[in-house]
Homo-oligomer: A and B are copies of this chain.
Amino acid sequence: MRELFQQELKELKDGLVAIAGNVESAMSRAVKSFNESDVNLAEEVIAQDHIIDGAVKDLDEQAIAILARQSPVASDLRQVVSTLRISASLERMGDLATHLAQLARYRFPEKVAPKSIRPTFKEMGSLDLEMSKLVVELLTKPSESTINKIRDLDDTVDELHAGVFETVLSEEFSNGAGTASVVDATLASRYLERFADHAVSISKKVLYLLTGEWDPDGDE
């Protein structure tokens, strides 16, 4: 019985890692479609979001079934509860990758961002992608050092996000680019920032798993 239970907990963990891998893959393609105005890639990300949603739904059902059948306590209970919390963040990260791809598709064949701001988005995208890789790593092998790395990357994303508004509000930008570019840049920056927030949120949930200390996302 105990052995079966441990096996079930391992399946939950593996399930989360698999979904995090799907999110990383979605974000990788979303960022590329955004940077390069690749509408086919964008379509692919949008069409496949339901796979992440379905996997989250299945995993949540599995977690609830374990709560019902096994009545876990202490650290086992924390793991099951964390699974439910983390899966919700992963699902939102998939949505945000989709939103980014939608911007690329909507603006095609134009590029979403005017030239002056493209390097910033490229950097934000690659930081987000790095964070999504760290999330996979963290869920595979929880460690405080990975949690700290994620937090540090998020600080940089936040700075770049603030920089986007400065650029957009500069006279040069508002004269050269149309209003649509201002809207797109505002939304894209917000999506990229929120994606990073969710990675931080997951790392807080893993910290809870490690320490039992629960810090909700009150700072967002």
Which residues of chain A have a CB within 8 Å of any CB of chain B? 49-50, 53-54, 56-57, 60-61, 64, 67-68, 71, 73-74, 77-78, 81, 84-85, 88, 91-92, 95, 165, 168-169, 173-174, 178-180, 182-183, 186-187, 190, 214-218, 220
Number of this chain's copies in the complex = 2
Q: For the complex formed, measure the closest distance between the CB of A76 and the CB atoms of chain B, giving whole angstroms.
A: 10
Chain B residues lying within 8 Å of A77, measured Cβ to Cβ, are: 64, 67-68
Q: Is the interface of A mostly helix, strand, loop or mixed?
A: helix
| Docked pose: A71 CA to B206 CA in angstroms | 23
| Interchain CB contact under 8 A, B179 and A169 | yes
A68-B73, A91-B217 known; 18 other A-B pairs, CB under 8 Å?
Answer: A50-B218, A53-B216, A54-B218, A57-B214, A64-B78, A67-B77, A68-B74, A68-B77, A81-B84, A84-B84, A84-B85, A91-B216, A95-B217, A169-B183, A182-B182, A182-B183, A186-B186, A187-B190
* Contacting residue for A174 out of B64, B169, B178, B186, CB 8 A: B178
Q: For the complex formed, measure the closest distance between the CB of A81 and the CB atoms of chain B, giving whole angstroms.
A: 6
| Docked pose: A50 CA to B217 CA in angstroms | 10
Chain B residues lying within 8 Å of A165, measured Cβ to Cβ, are: 183
Chain B residues lying within 8 Å of A56, measured Cβ to Cβ, are: 216
Question: Who on chain B is nearest to A179 by CB?
Answer: B174
| Docked pose: A141 CA to B57 CA in angstroms | 26
Question: Who on chain B is nearest to A217 by CB?
Answer: B91
Chain B residues lying within 8 Å of A91, measured Cβ to Cβ, are: 216-218
Greatest chain B CB density within 10 A among A56, A67, A91, A190 is at A67
Chain B residues lying within 8 Å of A215, measured Cβ to Cβ, are: 57
| Interchain CB contact under 8 A, B169 and A180 | yes
Chain B residues lying within 8 Å of A78, measured Cβ to Cβ, are: 64
* Contacting residue for A67 out of B49, B67, B174, CB 8 A: B67
